Structure 1
């Protein structure tokens, strides 16, 4: 009983506003400086809460979550000192939190009363009820009360639609699907999801066309790699998850027109489908040929953390090595984190470009649930500000990409999922393992600002430069971070 109640107390402590931005010193509506303050949940940093006077309101789901949080805290029953010492009985539960508590559980919070103090309108009040039920379901899953979680999942799937006008309701619908998968996986004891890479790659290309996030990752990393390759005649790029190689034509074009002449470029593209890797290699080879640039492509159907022999990557002495990793939550692209780190150290690259989603894959289920709820509410809100509800491109991205990411963060692994083998923040781990950060240059910042200029500033995209890292966010939520690293001693 105590364990179940402690989990719920932990959930209350986790429900904090997501990472926020400091908008001091803005240029053209985009923040260019920020001060890192104390750390908050899930390894996120707190950028303060100051917003410009003309700042947009937070997205609707953030408002709902904050209101539900306030209500949960105010609804805590008065504690009995003796009970508090023995069983933490002063902590409320979200439904039946464990089989052992079925006869003695405290009352639920009445979801219907959550909108008494603040009126959000019909859609907003429905959203409050949905968020409350979603939190109850998450806590039930976290303590393995699968029967109660299953009941709430069925209720959620009937109440929320992925095609709703409300961004918040769409988020809840996809979270409900992921949590349904989590319940099934927990009953079965394992999860081995199939991955349709062609479907994912197609949706990823659509995402690149309708949002700045992918372009931000590509252009900021290209600039860092270009600077590392300056005056180098033989260069080698290892892309840890190359997909369709959308990033590289732009870099090839710049390399081909260098004043000192183009280098010989070798590229190792890693992925899980040889067919797709070969097709990507052909496309890149044809593009390089049109530019008159010497180019070799080497496909590797392996994850970096699964490689036992570095010769598979065909690293040649004398080549300047760059490693690029656009981290995402679609699937595990690199294998076990500590093995991946070991290989990165052995490769001894001149530059590592890393673009991370500001969301944790490690830690407890509740930890991942709360962080991902804030994160994906901002992603959905950004798409909703740019595209109408019935837009086919928006549906394709939400269903084929974002839904899969949510499912991967919450559902994969069942009861065997552990945070021990997943780093919360790769930037911190690189620094702890002997890599030195290379500050993203002013040219990288300029590239990112040019990308954001393609979208009206009223849409809410924000750019910040923090301790040498470039960070892109939506309204008050940080979403993507781009950083560059090098080995302490280059061989």
Structure 2
């Protein structure tokens, strides 16, 4: 067994960085036609839990008793069926892979130009939505978003992602080097033509194309040429314009900061950004609830879809346990556990004797420790209001390297599970700490580990590859803001200008130890977890139903898209991956 999780040098270069969608996968629903959907909600008289109760909702969880009608869920309606255009040309091309190495010593790669594969490799294919067939018996992926519409009489506005795709294709086709380098003929429905686009869409495509040209020049270290382009881009982009202008503004800002760092010519704006970054740490700030973070949770579907799917998967694995002990790697305000409590309250076949939550807190920040302690107090109050037997514990270590199995108070009668919601990504930069926590989890040997992570490759050594990945990822978010947060301009502006701009600058402008935002995709996590003797288990049909149900409750839920990568659920926006949810067990 020791060889299964040997912690010696391991290269992630063998893992292909691609979405392995199973387009031919079908989910048989016979036998699930009558599954019981247990509804739960927070009573109005439970008191004020400082935002916790506002993050609960009336969604239901699926219990083992199969007794409810299939037409209660999974009936997303298409407003229209659109033609689907993918990029089979790029399916077999290799994309730069990442590894968890010594991030203090990594150096940027400047020699790689923007190539067709860099722009369209992962973003040509749309996601699918899981829908029953006409008879309601089979669940299968359905192509949901295309680049053009079959209806000539209907004007379809381009999404932010589609603008970026078109700008990328135009940039590639206009580059003589890329034409001859790959020998590929790009077959894109837009091509060079601006035909049929509005004036605003034309401006957006040209602006995005200029941004790509600027990134290429930065990649070639042609900084003066890049500066000239940036001055034009900055005059045309805006913090308060349409989503394309907004996202381009922040990427241009990041490129400017990178150029200043590389040339040693720090501008006033760069100095101001550095001062702000020293005072504002999104990782710490997001642990507490504030209006902007609550708006992100309540208005955008991704967090709730991920949380409810994770809780559903966790619930199924501890369904027969009377004493449940969940180790949370990064608890924040713990809204996921109020959701679990409500689900457990409705469990009649196996009365709950104890729900224990153990939170891990590392570092010397008193603020973070107080947040976790406050979370524990509020969860205890919430559990008491539901008559749930509850215990809360905190494992505090000054450094994750010091974490040990004996610090966790585990009773032999407890069923132990591990919950990781966007917790591991922050430790990629510190692989020794990441491996330490995984060793301890391996030793504890929980019945299940449920993981939600960001589904993006922001850890490539190549600057241009990383730039493209980040551009498409954040473009999807800015497009989502436009759709879901139109009436909440203040919170939207705070999220974009503080939280998301910080992430963009860190990915684009920083290298080495300063580059802390190092998200990787599920294929990389899959290879990493295998080292510790972990095997991925299939997400149940109930968990997939749960994801659909939660998305359906949002007005913008029609644009929340799903796909499967192996046994992992990928949650996206109009075809661009955002989050992943996976379930793991130890062998």
TM-score, normalized by length of structure 2? 0.65
Q: Does 1:130 align with 2:216?
A: no
Residues 21 and 50 in structure 1, CA contact (< 8 A), matched pair in contact too: no
Distance of 1:23 and 1:422 partners within structure 2: 22
Residues 186 and 415 in structure 1, CA contact (< 8 A), matched pair in contact too: no
Q: CA deviation at 1:214?
A: 0.8
Measured at CA, do residues 453 and 412 of structure 1 come closer, stay the same or move farther in structure 2, by a change above 3 Å? same
For the residue of structure 2 that corresponds to 1:298, the secondary structure is: strand
Q: CA deviation at 1:479?
A: 2.0
Q: Does 1:429 align with 2:528?
A: yes
Measured at CA, do residues 330 and 362 of structure 1 come closer, stay the same or move farther in structure 2, by a change above 3 Å? closer
Partner of 1:296: 391
Partner of 1:375: 473
Q: CA deviation at 1:243?
A: 1.4
Q: C-alpha deviations, 1:197-224, integer Å up to 9, x for none?
A: 3466423221111011111111111111
Of 342, 346, 352, the match for 2:449 = 352
Residues 240 and 324 in structure 1, CA contact (< 8 A), matched pair in contact too: yes
Residues 22 and 51 in structure 1, CA contact (< 8 A), matched pair in contact too: no
Measured at CA, do residues 151 and 246 of structure 1 come closer, stay the same or move farther in structure 2, by a change above 3 Å? farther
Measured at CA, do residues 290 and 378 of structure 1 come closer, stay the same or move farther in structure 2, by a change above 3 Å? same
Q: 143-152 or 238-247: which moved more?
A: 143-152
Residues 113 and 464 in structure 2, CA contact (< 8 A), matched pair in contact too: no
Distance of 1:134 and 1:168 partners within structure 2: 11
Of 282, 294, 297, the match for 1:205 = 294
Residues 330 and 408 in structure 1, CA contact (< 8 A), matched pair in contact too: no
Residues 270 and 303 in structure 1, CA contact (< 8 A), matched pair in contact too: no
Q: CA deviation at 1:438?
A: 1.9
Q: CA deviation at 1:261?
A: 1.3
For the residue of structure 2 that corresponds to 1:8, the secondary structure is: coil
Distance of 2:561 and 2:519 partners within structure 1: 32
Distance of 2:550 and 2:342 partners within structure 1: 18
Distance of 2:174 and 2:464 partners within structure 1: 20
Measured at CA, do residues 183 and 392 of structure 1 come closer, stay the same or move farther in structure 2, by a change above 3 Å? same
Distance of 1:348 and 1:411 partners within structure 2: 40
Partner of 1:401: 499
Q: Does 1:18 align with 2:147?
A: no
Residues 361 and 422 in structure 1, CA contact (< 8 A), matched pair in contact too: yes
Q: 301-310 or 60-69: which moved more?
A: 301-310
TM-score, normalized by length of structure 1? 0.76
Residues 58 and 476 in structure 1, CA contact (< 8 A), matched pair in contact too: no
Q: How does 1:37-436 map to 2 (within 5 A)?
A: 59-77=158-176, 117-118=194-195, 120-146=197-223, 148-149=225-226, 152-164=229-241, 166-184=242-260, 186=262, 193=278, 194-195=280-281, 197-198=284-285, 201-202=289-290, 203-259=292-348, 260-271=350-361, 273-300=368-395, 306-327=401-422, 332=427, 335-336=430-431, 337-363=434-460, 364-388=462-486, 391-413=489-511, 425-431=524-530, 433-436=532-535
For the residue of structure 2 that corresponds to 1:287, the secondary structure is: helix
Residues 304 and 343 in structure 1, CA contact (< 8 A), matched pair in contact too: no
Partner of 2:14: none
Distance of 1:352 and 1:232 partners within structure 2: 16
Measured at CA, do residues 414 and 255 of structure 1 come closer, stay the same or move farther in structure 2, by a change above 3 Å? same
Residues 265 and 295 in structure 1, CA contact (< 8 A), matched pair in contact too: yes
Q: Where does the alignment leave 5 or more consecutive residues of structure 2 unmatched?
A: 1-107, 184-190, 267-273
For the residue of structure 2 that corresponds to 1:321, the secondary structure is: strand
Q: CA deviation at 1:316?
A: 4.4
Q: Where does the alignment leave 5 or more consecutive residues of structure 1 unmatched?
A: 36-45, 91-113
Q: CA deviation at 1:397?
A: 3.0
Q: C-alpha deviations, 1:259-313, integer Å up to 9, x for none?
A: 2212422222235611211111111111112222232222345598544433344
Distance of 2:429 and 2:444 partners within structure 1: 15
Q: 136-145 or 332-341: which moved more?
A: 332-341
Partner of 2:11: none
Q: CA deviation at 1:5?
A: 8.3
Bigger share in helix: 1
The CA RMSD measured in Å over matched residues stands at: 4.2
For the residue of structure 2 that corresponds to 1:293, the secondary structure is: coil
For the residue of structure 2 that corresponds to 1:7, the secondary structure is: coil
Residues 426 and 518 in structure 2, CA contact (< 8 A), matched pair in contact too: no
Partner of 1:478: 577
Distance of 1:144 and 1:414 partners within structure 2: 18
Q: CA deviation at 1:372?
A: 1.7
Distance of 2:436 and 2:221 partners within structure 1: 30
Distance of 2:150 and 2:531 partners within structure 1: 39
